[in-house]
């Protein structure tokens, strides 16, 4: 019989090596690999953290190394979703708790969704609970959803130089609503830089999907500004 480590490694290898996946058998294979691990008595949280999350990290690393591209990131997130459909009902109590709650959106006047969607998919894959409020969102939408979900992180996206000035407006609105001290703010988008993030008082800047996950994990464990 395979050991726990071997079962987790099989699942990891399957998800991390996108080019080998046969679309016709993906659902069945994924179900089988996840269930084999659970039936062997491996705690669901360990399946998530030691196989699936690590596989997503590997996909992110291969993206950074330009071995994978945006379509691969999206497919990796899709696989993660397929695995979570099987795993999620098994996660109970503290195990089911997410790494944090994220409100994610693109600012007012900006209709771009690709970067936001990638970040959302990868944050979900990394164990965050993500509330995507969509594109072209006014500052109030960020504030309202943050209140409603008691979010830990507000992730703000802008793809245009003309819409980046909306980012500090969202941050100011969160401050005015008394929320700034209890949420972390993550910003990203093509014109956004590390310097810009610091200037507007964000907690972190995510350069791309995998980096956004890294930054979200980093800020979630740190003190708010």
Partner 1 sequence: MMFRHIEEDQNFQRVLTVAKGEETDRIPYDVCFTSDFISSFYGIREREYYIFPEKMVAAQQAVIKRFFTKYHLSTIFSLLRPDPSVVAEISALAPLRWPPDGSPFAQPIAKTPEDVDDLQLPDFERDGLFPYIYEIVDWMIDNYGDDYFIGPCQPRGAPQLATMVRGTNEFLVDLRMQPDVAHKVLDYCTKVIIGFLKGLKARLGKNFFIVVADDAGGFLNTKQYEEFGLPYNARIFEWFDHPLNLYHCDADTTQILEFIPKLGCHIFNMGDKKTCDLAKAKEILHDKVAIYGNVPPYDVLQLKGPPEIEAAVKEVVDQAGKGGGLILSTGGVISRGTPPENLDTLFNAFEKYGSTIPSD
Q: Which is nearer to partner 1, 46 or 78 (CB)?
A: 78
121 binds partner 1 (CB under 8 A): yes
Residue 138 in the binding site for partner 1 (CB under 8 A): no
Q: Does the footprint of partner 1 cover residue 169 (CB under 8 A)?
A: no
- Residue 75 is a binding residue for partner 1 (CB under 8 A): yes
**Candidate ranges 2-10, 37-45, 114-122, 180-188; the one touching partner 1 (CB under 8 A):** 114-122
Q: Which letter, b or e, does each residue of 169-199 get, where b requires 16 or more Cβ atoms within 10 Å of its Cβ?
A: bbbebbeeeebbeebbbbbbbeebeeebbee
List the end-to-end C-alpha distance of the chain, in Å, as a whole number.
51
- Given the rule CB under 8 A, which of 31-39, 48-56, 111-119, 168-176 is the region that contacts partner 1? 111-119
Q: Which residues, numbered 6-25, are part of the site for partner 1 (CB under 8 A)?
A: 18-19, 21, 23
Asked if residue 152 binds partner 1 (CB under 8 A), the reply is no
* Beta-strand pair 129-137/153-157: unpaired
Q: Which stretch binds partner 1 (CB under 8 A): 45-53, 64-72, 85-93, 180-188?
A: 64-72
Residue 191 beta carbon to partner 1: minimum distance, rounded to whole angstroms? 6
CB of 94 to partner 1, least distance (A): 31
Cα–Cα distance measured from residue 142 to residue 132, given in angstroms and rounded to the nearest whole number: 10
Q: Among residues 150 and 162, whose Cβ is nearest to partner 1?
A: 162
Residues engaged in binding partner 1 (CB under 8 A) = 18-19, 21, 23, 26, 66, 68-72, 74-75, 78, 108-111, 113-114, 117, 121, 135-136, 160-163, 190-191, 193
């Amino acid at each position: 019989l395979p050991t726990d480590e071997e079962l987790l490694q099989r699942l990891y290898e399957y998800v991390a090596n996108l080019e080998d996946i046969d679309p016709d058998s993906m659902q069945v294979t994924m179900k089988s690999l996840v269930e084999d691990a659970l039936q062997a008595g491996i705690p669901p949280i360990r399946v998530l953290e030691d196989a699936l999350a690590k596989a997503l990290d590997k996909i992110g690393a291969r993206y950074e190394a330009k071995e994978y591209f945006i379509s691969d990131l999206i497919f990796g997130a899709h696989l993660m979703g397929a695995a979570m459909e099987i795993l999620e009902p098994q996660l109970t109590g503290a195990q089911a708790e997410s790494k944090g709650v994220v409100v994610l959106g693109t600012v007012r006047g900006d209709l771009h969704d690709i970067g936001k969607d990638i970040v959302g998919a990868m944050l979900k894959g990394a164990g965050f609970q993500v509330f995507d409020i969509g594109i072209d969102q006014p500052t109030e939408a960020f504030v309202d959803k943050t209140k409603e979900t008691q979010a830990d992180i507000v992730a703000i996206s802008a793809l245009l130089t003309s819409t980046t000035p909306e980012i500090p407006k969202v941050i100011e609105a969160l401050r005015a609503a008394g929320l700034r001290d209890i949420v972390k703010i993550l910003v990203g988008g093509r014109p956004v830089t590390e310097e810009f993030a610091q200037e507007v008082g964000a907690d972190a800047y995510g350069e791309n999907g995998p980096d956004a996950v890294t930054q979200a994990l980093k800020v979630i464990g740190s003190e708010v500004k």
